[in-house]
Chain A
Amino acid sequence: MKTVKRWGPPLLLLTPSLILIAVFVYGLIAVNFQTSFTDSHTAPQATGVMPTVFVGLENYAALLGSEAFQHSLKNLLLYTAVFLVGTMVIGFVWAWVLERPAKGEGFFRSVFLFPMAVSFIASGVVWRWLLNSNEGESALGLNRLFQIVGLDFLQNPWWNNVTWGIAAIAIPAIWQLSGYVMALFLAGFRGIPDELREAGRIDGASEWQLYRHVIFPQLSPVALSALIIIGHMSLKAFDLIMSISKPANYQTKVPAVDMYVFKSSFDYANSAAVGAILLIIVALLIIPYLVYTSRKEGGR
């Protein structure tokens, strides 16, 4: 009876969520792996009318060996690199500028952060126009703006370039998320005790030395968080690409888009395999981070 009283209520509160997470996260991941090991490439197989056969890692081997999927992975890497560098640099500079009380800082902060409240689909509508690949007479968007300000040589096909097109899609992503990174860094700056800086100054440290030895080390946990969050968002890139280019567009395809395209043609096995590959990439990034943070917490 005592056990019921002690364990009952907490279990009652926790169980619904535990079951849901167990089924919808871990259970479905397992089923997804299972599907990715089959030859379910057609609609009748997807709906269970036709049987499927276990093929082991065949789908993975075919995917990773195909030039089209390698292009997606390369795009993902490039997108992530541009997105990460862009948001981290801009976010840090904004935080650094706004860290000290200045006139109108609240206004600037709000403006820099507001794109975060907008969906990628909505911002995709305007960026699709801004990144329009027409040049010369029929140019719209940024290419037209370059003409107006006399920087014609900057005109380029944006996302329509096979090699670098995906980097153009990272521009709206940077526009939306730099403010978020700024907010993280601002919180980091404000967590640095004034005494630390004063102590550094009294010791005769130059402004650069102060940053190098006092401020940067204090900011590194925040920077790590920002890297993880942005990197993780980047790996799942989907909405912006769907809204700016087209899902079937070779130039800008990434694994998440491939997954959708496979699913649309009822190729569930390949769709599941792409999902699994994404999961593995994310897990390689996240699990060390989760372990690291929970260790740190244990030592608190």
Chain B
Amino acid sequence: MTTAVPAPAPVDVAAGRPVSAPERRPASRFSVGRTLKYAILLVSLVLVLIPVYVLIVTSFKGPGDATPARAWALPQLWTMDNWTAAWETLSPSLFRSVQMVVPASIISAFLGSMNGFVLSRWSFRGANIVFTLILFGMFIPYQAVMIPLLQLMLGLDVPSGIPSLILVHVIYGIPITTLIFRNYYESVPKELIEAARVDGAGMLRTYVSVVLPISIPSFVVVLIWQFTSAWNDFLFAVFFSSSQNGPVTLALNNLANGALLQNYGVSMSGALLASLPTLLVYIVLGKYFIGGLMSGSVKG
């Protein structure tokens, strides 16, 4: 254990309530410290939201508003043109991204769950070494396997584009999903599984009928994690697909960098479109999202 973070269910962290800390000071009392804290918060808020302002405002600007002098001003005329143009360019790749992340996250979640269960409940000599060896796969810079990986995929005749990307996201997702599930199963009371064993259930039976049903919170965390990282991936996308058959990150980058004349309005609408799915997940399932982030930081 590295940190004191309980993974993968840090609901307390997410909900933001300290476990047992009543207000120590009267809330109404004015103090320099308090004022300073709110000043820091407000300034930070403004700074963090600057790019959001730019994205939204620029995405609704028409060509007449594109002059540098009006760079920070609100649109004179709000228009949806950029959004429709961005949608037309990006929609095929958005659908491809969906086709990629759904299988990629489901398959790697199941693999992680199986590994996590075995590694947490079945101790053999060297189990810890096996676990560390798996974990190391999470830390390698993928640049160090990319050239042989390209050749291997070519040799195996895996079609470029979404099939290749599903495969690499599943494989290189194994370490993190194993980690999250192992930590979760370590926290499951041993008695639960022992009881199943006494009832005569073998390991596979125990896994399917006892372990899987109680793993749902971890599945949510892992699925969100894999969904987000596959959706946002660019490195594998640029090596294993083209803008004709690749995910939305690649198409967006081509949209933003490809045109001779910079059309910031369209690319910013595109950036917002491409970010909507992950932002939606963050807003709706925020605590699980943070759960994934936290467990990503906890080794062992």
23 contacting pairs across A/B (C-beta < 8 A): A13-B204, A17-B111, A28-B145, A31-B148, A32-B147, A102-B38, A112-B48, A115-B51, A117-B275, A119-B275, A126-B54, A126-B58, A137-B68, A141-B71, A190-B13, A225-B298, A263-B147, A271-B147, A275-B144, A279-B141, A279-B144, A296-B2, A297-B300
Chain B contacts for A226, CB-based, 8 A = 297
Chain B contacts for A180, CB-based, 8 A = 293
Contact (A175, B293) CB under 8 Å given A32-B147, A124-B256, A183-B13: no
CB-based contact B141/A17 at 8 Å:
no
- B175 within 8 A of partner (CB): yes
- B198 within 8 A of partner (CB): no
Interface residues of B in 133-152 (CB under 8 A from A): 133-137, 139-152
- A101 within 8 A of partner (CB): yes
Chain A contacts for B23, CB-based, 8 A = 101
CB-based contact B4/A222 at 8 Å:
yes
Residue among A187, A235, A274, A298 facing the most chain B CB atoms (10 A cut-off): A187
Residue among A24, A120, A175, A274 facing the most chain B CB atoms (10 A cut-off): A24
- B16 within 8 A of partner (CB): yes
CB-based contact A187/B134 at 8 Å:
no
CB-based contact A24/B147 at 8 Å:
no
Contact (A114, B282) CB under 8 Å given A188-B4, A236-B141, A275-B144: yes
Look across to chain B and name the residue whose beta carbon is closest to the beta carbon of A268. B147
CB-based contact B132/A290 at 8 Å:
yes
Chain A contacts for B111, CB-based, 8 A = 16-17
Report Cα–Cα, A120/B274, bound state, in Å: 11
Q: Which residues of A contact B (CB under 8 A)?
A: 5, 9-10, 12-14, 16-18, 20-21, 24-26, 28-29, 31-32, 35, 90, 93-94, 97-98, 100-103, 105-106, 108-130, 134, 137-141, 144-145, 148, 172, 175, 180, 183-184, 186-188, 190-191, 194, 221-222, 224-226, 229, 232, 235-236, 238-239, 242-243, 246, 255-256, 259-260, 263, 268, 271-272, 274-276, 278-279, 282, 286, 289-290, 293-294, 296-298, 300
Interface of B is mostly: helix
The distance from the CB of A52 to the nearest CB of chain B, in whole angstroms, is 12
Contact (A130, B54) CB under 8 Å given A119-B275, A188-B4: yes
Report Cα–Cα, A275/B143, bound state, in Å: 5
Contact (A121, B274) CB under 8 Å given A186-B13, A191-B4: yes
| Contact partner, B257, options A24, A113, A246, A255, Cβ 8 Å | A246
Report Cα–Cα, A122/B149, bound state, in Å: 26
Contact (A21, B16) CB under 8 Å given A111-B49, A191-B5: no
CB-based contact A121/B234 at 8 Å:
yes
CB-based contact B174/A21 at 8 Å:
yes
- B41 within 8 A of partner (CB): yes
Size class of the contact patch on chain B: 35 or more
| Contact partner, B37, options A26, A97, A183, A238, Cβ 8 Å | A97
The distance from the CB of B90 to the nearest CB of chain A, in whole angstroms, is 11
Chain B contacts for A278, CB-based, 8 A = 141, 143-144
Contacts A117-B279, A225-B297 supplied; 19 other A-B pairs, CB < 8 Å: A9-B203, A9-B204, A13-B114, A14-B118, A31-B148, A108-B44, A112-B44, A114-B282, A119-B231, A123-B51, A126-B268, A137-B68, A183-B290, A186-B13, A191-B3, A263-B239, A286-B136, A294-B299, A296-B1
Chain B contacts for A32, CB-based, 8 A = 144-148
Report Cα–Cα, A48/B123, bound state, in Å: 45
Residue among A93, A101, A246, A296 facing the most chain B CB atoms (10 A cut-off): A101
- B18 within 8 A of partner (CB): yes
Report Cα–Cα, A296/B19, bound state, in Å: 26
Residue among B132, B135, B232 facing the most chain A CB atoms (10 A cut-off): B232
The distance from the CB of B141 to the nearest CB of chain A, in whole angstroms, is 4
Residue among B38, B281, B300 facing the most chain A CB atoms (10 A cut-off): B300
